[in-house]
Amino acid sequence: MQSTPRGPSKRGSTGIRKVTGAIFAVLLAVLMIAAPAAQATTPSPSPSPSPTTFQNNISGFLRDDARTPIPGVRIKATGNGFEGTATSSANGQWSIGVPVQGTYKVELDTSTLPQGIKLAEGQENPRNVTFSQTSNLSVIFAFGKGIVVQQQDLGQSILNRLVAGISFGLLLALASVGLSLIFGTTGLTNFAHGEMVTLGALALFAFNAWGVPFWLAVILALTGGAAFGYVQDLALWRPLRRRGMALVPMMIVSIGLALAVRYAYQFFFGGATQQLPGAQVTDVQIGPISVSPNTLWSLLISAVVIAAVGIVLLRTRLGKATRAVADNPALAAASGIDVDRVIRIVWVVGGLLAALGGVLWAYYRPGVTWDMGSQILLAIFAGVTLGGLGTVFGALIGSLVVGIFIELTSLVLPPDLKYVGALVVMIVVLLFRPQGILGRRERVG
């Protein structure tokens, strides 16, 4: 008979608190490093004063309907006795520092737009914007050739979007596989998984700003993601499991954790979008396919890592133990498997995969922001649910479907609506197959 696990001793609890405090101190130090670096690397518009000259600034990103940055476009802001201009950078970012809050007229110089690009129908230019309880006002302009693709370019556009969708789907799969492993072994729906994705990009930015060589910074960022997963299980989820807390209250705890960590990121990192080193936005031609180097590298890295995870799950003792715990934890424990150890490893691997997904997402977008993980959290959940809750290969297939559909619908939908189509597909599929593509039908009640 399996003995009831005892709670940790007083000495063990002290050790856990010390380890947990040390790791959180390291993560806090990373965020504190990122904060001044984010302020130092904020691109300054020209010829207007640098945004750091004033506490308030008007900023934005210029991208066409295919999410491609539009550089070299001039924007002017006037009002309150001030006039300033900025030119969009290579990644489409622009920012104008203004002396006081109030109402300003923002005008985009349409003569500086690239050939074939124009403001979308109904876009107001110039427009009046007003600061209200914020020091950073974001202004969005919508561009494109229209939502209808020209007939002669339809095949080329579909092919390019298909490659981008596979890359985005594999990127989602990196985070989805970790989330699915955690759900399969613990039953927990972790809403803080998006913050694990964000941590990878923020940590890489911080270490790079600290002068650490790029590849070493990547390794440290992934290690930080794995450590974050380990700390979560050690300090929070394992004690709650031992207390016998139900899954719904634990899910609510994960929502609170997500909000706390997300706004801690914003406090230390700020609200600006920063770029990681080596980001390339110019497409390269590979046969009939036009793709950015960031998208291509993301596709290759994601495919290799996911293949490695699949081999580990299918061919190694650890993988078989993980699948046994996911299938039946009680039977796995009776067979001699250390369930707590397997769950701890799953959290570490899930944190590492999420951090890697965050790094690739920062290059795919491109840009690092404090809420970037939460922006794709619904897409991650859609992939996991569509593929089948708790099934790793289902998460992979579901994420690929979601990624491809999101990119293909960008041909006919405005960029702000392309995620809606993927969620609609998920709902329709689940109406006819509630267990997902590879999930098992289970009796409830």
pLDDT band at 437 (very low <50, low <70, confident <90, very high): confident
113 and 170: one domain? no
**Among residues 144, 176, 207, which one ends one of the domains?**
144
The CATH number covering residue 326 comes to: 1.10.3470
DSSP single-letter state for residue 412: T
Nearest to 43 by CA among 81, 116, 114, 93: 93
pLDDT band at 54 (very low <50, low <70, confident <90, very high): low
In a domain, 7, yes or no: no
158 and 85: one domain? no
In a domain, 277, yes or no: yes
The pTM (predicted TM-score) of the whole model is: 0.68
For residue 246, what are the contacts with CB-CB under 8 A and spacing of at least 6?
Answer: none
In a domain, 111, yes or no: yes
Mean pLDDT of 274-281: 70
125 and 163: one domain? no
DSSP states of 133-158 as a string?
S-SEEE----EES-SSPPGGGHHHHH
Q: How many domains does the chain have?
A: 2
In a domain, 442, yes or no: no
For residue 191, what are the contacts with CB-CB under 8 A and spacing of at least 6?
Answer: 251, 254, 255, 257, 258, 377
193 and 131: one domain? no
305 and 381: one domain? yes
**Among residues 117, 144, 171, which one ends one of the domains?**
144
Listed ranges 70-74, 300-304, 324-328; the one with the highest mean pLDDT: 300-304
Is pLDDT at 189 greater than 50 in this prediction?
yes
* In contact, 200 and 354? CB cutoff 8 Å: yes
Q: Phi and psi of 335, rounded to 5°?
A: -85, 0
159 and 113: one domain? no
**Among residues 144, 160, 185, which one ends one of the domains?**
144
Q: Phi and psi of 198, rounded to 5°?
A: -60, -40
At which residue do the structure tokens 């600006």 appear?
272
* In contact, 94 and 51? CB cutoff 8 Å: no
In angstroms, how far is CA 211 from the centroid of its own chain? Answer: 24
Average pLDDT of the chain? Answer: 78
131 and 222: one domain? no
Domain coverage including residue 75 = 55-144
125 and 158: one domain? no
In a domain, 42, yes or no: no
Pairing of strands 56-61, 74-79: unpaired
376 and 264: one domain? yes
140 and 187: one domain? no
* In contact, 159 and 289? CB cutoff 8 Å: yes
pLDDT band at 41 (very low <50, low <70, confident <90, very high): very low
261 and 156: one domain? yes
pLDDT of residue 128: 83
The CATH number covering residue 133 comes to: 2.60.40.10
Helices (H) and strands (E) in the chain — how many of each?
14, 11
235 and 338: one domain? yes
Helix (H) or strand (E) holding 170: helix 154-186
At 59, is the secondary structure helix, strand, or coil?
A: strand
In a domain, 16, yes or no: no
Q: 232 or 3: whose pLDDT is higher?
A: 232
In a domain, 437, yes or no: no
User: Any idea which of 28-37, 121-130, 240-249, 371-380 has the lowest mean pLDDT?
Assistant: 28-37
In a domain, 124, yes or no: yes
Helix extents (H) in 56-130? none
Sign of CA dihedral 280, 395, 255, 346: negative
Q: 167 or 48: whose pLDDT is higher?
A: 167
